[in-house]
Copies of this chain bind each other. A is one copy, B any other.
Amino acid sequence: MPSALLLDLYELTMAQSYFAHKKQTFATFDLFVRELPLNRSYLIACGLEDILSYIKTLRFSVKDLEYLKGIKVFSSDFIAYLSRFRFKGDIWAMPEGTVFFANEPVIRVTGSIIEAQIIESFLLNTVNLQAMIASKASRVVLAAKGRPVYDFSFRRAHGHEAGIKVPRSAFIAGFEGTSCVEAGKLYGIPVTGTMAHSYVMSFKHELDSFLAYSVTFPDRTILLVDTYDTRKGIENAVRIGLFLKGIKRRLVGIRLDSGDIVSLSKFARKALDKAGLDHVKIFASGNLDEFRIKELIDSGALIDSFGVGTHMGTSVDAPSLDVIYKISEVTDEHGDFLPTMKLSKGKVTYPGRKQVFRVKDSRGRFAKDIVALEKEKIKGKPLLVKVVEKGRIIYKQPSLEAIRTFTRKNLSGFTGRLKEKSPAYNYPVLISRKLKELRRKLSAELAKRQ
């Protein structure tokens, strides 16, 4: 159960001021990504599961309230209000696994302006990490062209929680498994892993280490062959392969973690096949990402499967999303919602309660998205789904496996250009005529607000 204090202080100072001045005011906020990051043609929605369980359990504990009292920023009546606080608004969201683009609301919150403001930081933090990782991981999966990819990022993920959320997000994007055992336990993701260099080094001879391991795990041995001379390591692996074959077991694979992977993989394949060990797979790891995997495959590397760590687990080329949470409408003194928007230079937003429609072409492929006002009649699939109604979760979260399947299907609905590594392709995201008009009218009006 996440702490209610996982937020920026200003959510609470604004809330206290709203409490004093705008108790009866309601508002709608859009959570969206302003610009796609470097190298990304699309993003994948992820994080809704955590958001729903946060909304469900969101309470300020006695200790939270004591802390807030202690910092002498808040009034006692506001703290009393927080002690009874529950989220009672509505939330619409794109289901996890939905492909989305810049300027499309991924989450839309309508509620009292206080409650809608208080949940901002948590929602941003959650979507930022999980959508960022799912999107990066999806690129890696595409680059591997059907070869299984495994998450090895735990040690370089940003902390223990990221170390668990990264494999979940990557699994949704099509990874086959993870090295992180806790993620396996929590989410049922297949776990994988065999040995490190230190294991090999703890024995007097490399062959001793290989033998010891394969005796312990005769059915799941993958030998790490690059601790000393990699070619000799491969020869030792062949010995173990033959030994296991002799006792009617199978060496699963070898792992290359350094050196010239292309030539080493060819050398290994040849040596293994020559010894009648064509069932033995070749795994590669070590600073891999979508670019490096493409390069390896294009250069003829004979790799069956990839272990991908740091670059995916930190989304190294784009370690954050430009994800923001902007007010789009607010009630007036009569309780009527009026559209609003931000005017700052280069940061203008779209006003009003919006929906995103995904439109197919005549061949049934996704041709464009249209961001429109919710009530516009547009032929296309609305992507935002109501998940919370008056504070109650009304969305049945699918199984992780189902989300993963949905992601794959969703992505396959786009043309190939979306999935090219680079340069990034601009899928058309249009703004409806009505929304454009509203924005134009409002711009002039809002300029008078100063």
User: Which of A159, A195, A315, A321 has the most C-beta atoms of chain B within 10 angstroms of its own C-beta?
Assistant: A159
Stretch at the interface among A89-97, A177-185, A242-250, A268-276: A177-185
Q: Which of chain B's residues have a CB closer than 8 A to the CB of A236? A: 450
Known: A157-B158, A202-B25. A259 touches B319 (CB 8 A): no
Kindly state whether residue A292 has any CB partner on chain B within 8 Å: no
Kindly state whether residue A172 has any CB partner on chain B within 8 Å: no
| Inter-chain contact B6/A163, CB cutoff 8 Å | yes
Q: Which of chain B's residues have a CB closer than 8 A to the CB of A14? A: 195-196, 198-199, 213
Q: Which of chain B's residues have a CB closer than 8 A to the CB of A446? A: 228
Q: Which A157-173 residues sit within 8 Å CB-CB of chain B?
A: 157-165
| Inter-chain contact B129/A184, CB cutoff 8 Å | no
Copies of this chain held together in the complex:
2
Give A325-337 as 1s and 0s: 1 = Cβ < 8 Å from B's Cβ atoms.
1110010000000
| Inter-chain contact B20/A216, CB cutoff 8 Å | yes
| Inter-chain contact A258/B156, CB cutoff 8 Å | no
User: Which of A6, A193, A315, A449 has the most C-beta atoms of chain B within 10 angstroms of its own C-beta?
Assistant: A449
A343 to B232, CA, bound (A): 13
The answer, among B185, B198, B233, B326, for a CB contact under 8 Å with A29, is: B198
User: Which of A13, A343, A447 has the most C-beta atoms of chain B within 10 angstroms of its own C-beta?
Assistant: A13
Q: Which of chain B's residues have a CB closer than 8 A to the CB of A217? A: 13, 16-17, 73
Kindly state whether residue A386 has any CB partner on chain B within 8 Å: no
Interface size class, chain A: 35 or more
| Inter-chain contact A202/B330, CB cutoff 8 Å | yes
The answer, among B68, B163, B216, for a CB contact under 8 Å with A21, is: B216
Query: Which residue from chain B places its CB closest to the CB of A310 in the assembled complex?
Result: B320
Q: Which of chain B's residues have a CB closer than 8 A to the CB of A113? A: 202
Q: Which of chain B's residues have a CB closer than 8 A to the CB of A164? A: 6
Query: Which residue from chain B places its CB closest to the CB of A192 in the assembled complex?
Result: B9
| Inter-chain contact A158/B181, CB cutoff 8 Å | no
Known: A6-B182, A67-B184, A449-B204. A158 touches B314 (CB 8 A): yes
Kindly state whether residue A378 has any CB partner on chain B within 8 Å: no
Query: From residue A122, how far is it (CB to closest CB) to chain B in Å?
Result: 8
Kindly state whether residue A207 has any CB partner on chain B within 8 Å: yes
Query: From residue A70, how far is it (CB to closest CB) to chain B in Å?
Result: 9
The answer, among B121, B159, B450, for a CB contact under 8 Å with A233, is: B450
Kindly state whether residue A27 has any CB partner on chain B within 8 Å: yes
Kindly state whether residue A355 has any CB partner on chain B within 8 Å: no
What are the 5 A-B residue pairs with the smallest beta carbon separation, nearest first? A158-B158, A10-B193, A9-B193, A161-B161, A124-B155
A-B contact pairs, 28 of them (CB 8 A): A2-B160, A6-B160, A8-B152, A10-B196, A14-B199, A16-B216, A17-B199, A29-B198, A67-B185, A117-B199, A120-B155, A125-B159, A125-B163, A156-B323, A158-B158, A197-B344, A198-B326, A201-B340, A202-B327, A205-B449, A205-B450, A207-B450, A228-B343, A228-B447, A258-B344, A259-B344, A314-B320, A315-B319
Give A residues with C-beta under 8 Å from B.
2-3, 5-14, 16-18, 20-22, 25, 27, 29, 63-64, 67-68, 71, 73, 113, 117, 120-122, 124-126, 128-129, 152, 154-165, 179-182, 184-185, 191-199, 201-202, 204-207, 212-213, 215-217, 220, 226-230, 232-233, 236, 257-259, 310, 314-316, 319-321, 323, 325-327, 330, 340-347, 446-447, 449-450
